[in-house]
Amino acid sequence: MQERGGLAREKRGKTQKKNPAEISRFFASFAGYLLRVIPKLDAALLIVGHGSTVNPDSSAPSLAHAATIRRRGLFAEVACVFWKEEPALRDWPLLFPDPTIHDIFVVPNFISEGYFTQTIIPRELELTGDLTERDFPAGQRWHYCPPVGNHPAMTELLLQRAREVAPGVPERETSLLIVGHGTGLNDNSAVAAKQQVAAIAALDRYAAVLSTYMEEPPHIADWAKLTDTPNVVVVPFFISDGLHSYQDIPVLLGLEPEPTAAASQQAVFRQNPRHLHGRALYYASAIGTEPRFADIILEQTAALALA
């Protein structure tokens, strides 16, 4: 089961890549528009997040996007499940027992395909591929959608975040660093960060665009050595302002001597810029906290139809 899910995923990944970018973007934006406005009251949306047993802010973006989508009244139900919090992924049989709900769209709120989207989520939700038909409620169809990080709008959102955190700062005198986790089981996140960097660099706006990582070279801790511009903007390619982007990376950047309290437990969000090593350093909050992720989640439910 787990392997079948994984294989289906790889195959779909290839199929998607074959589409010329503009055509798929056109259809994605058109389908995305429809998905954002047409109610599907015999369907439910399930947002899958990682969650955390130590950081109270890890699940916040998934919950916030779910609340946004719920308010729009597009689905009969909108729910979240988490790997490390409740409701747990394993609670899936309890979430949508209503027999009038025929379709469930499962959208991983993850930055890339990887260990979680290809192994953990299909295994824990007992998904057999892109489409899984359940015995109970009879015939309920669970559609497994691509993770949010795969969406073509991600590049634009990263750019927008970079502009917001350093308004009016000339891009030609600025290095933009996209920081990902890197290493370990989820190493596709590093690939995803590299793809975003390549797309942004191709626009030729910033003096330099680099992908950096917490746990593998080029290390984010070496930001001052990696760049030579007066301004440096760092955008975490993470889903939440959780342990990594709010507590670990600021220490690696030299913004904090040691990990601070969690974001939600801090009275004031960090001030930008900070002057370190003779540069102006701007640190953004995680890309996944962007409210437009709610639209991206909706649009990912269309990606299956396009593949």
Partner 1 sequence: MDQDAARLLFSLDAALARWLAAARMRLGQIQMETLPPPQAGFRLRHHDDAGRPHEELALFTGGADDAVELARYDDAGNYRPLKTAPNLRHGWRLEALPDLPALRRALDAFYPARLGALLAFENGRLPVTPLRETLARQTGMYRITQKLTDAQADALVGRFCRSDGGCLRTILWRRDLAGTPASSHLPPEKFEPAFDQTGHGETRSLPLLCQEACNLLVAEARAVIKGERTAAAASAVDC
The CA-CA-CA angle for residues 188, 16, 75, to 5°, reads 90
Question: What Rg value do the Cα atoms of the chain yield, rounded?
Answer: 20
Interaction of residue 53 with partner 1, rule CB under 8 A: yes
> 55 or 227, CB closer to partner 1?
55
User: Which residues from 84-103 bind partner 1, rule CB under 8 A?
Assistant: 84-88, 90-91, 93-95, 97-100
Beta bridge partners of 104: 44, 142
Interaction of residue 172 with partner 1, rule CB under 8 A: no
The end-to-end CA distance of the chain, in Å, is: 21
Q: CA 50, 54, 58, 62 torsion: positive or negative?
A: positive
> 82 or 293, CB closer to partner 1?
82
CA-CA distance, 143 to 107, in Å (whole number)? 9
* Region from 12-20, 113-121, 147-155, 205-213 binding partner 1, contact rule CB under 8 A: 113-121
> 120 or 239, CB closer to partner 1?
120
Interaction of residue 42 with partner 1, rule CB under 8 A: no
* Contact string 54-73 vs partner 1 (x = CB under 8 A): xxx------x---x------
> 77 or 256, CB closer to partner 1?
77
CA dihedral 291, 115, 211, 261 (to 10 degrees): 60
CA-CA distance, 190 to 278, in Å (whole number)? 29
**Which chain residues interact with partner 1 by CB under 8 A?**
52-56, 63, 67, 83-88, 90-91, 93-95, 97-100, 115, 119-120, 123, 136-137, 185, 262, 264-265
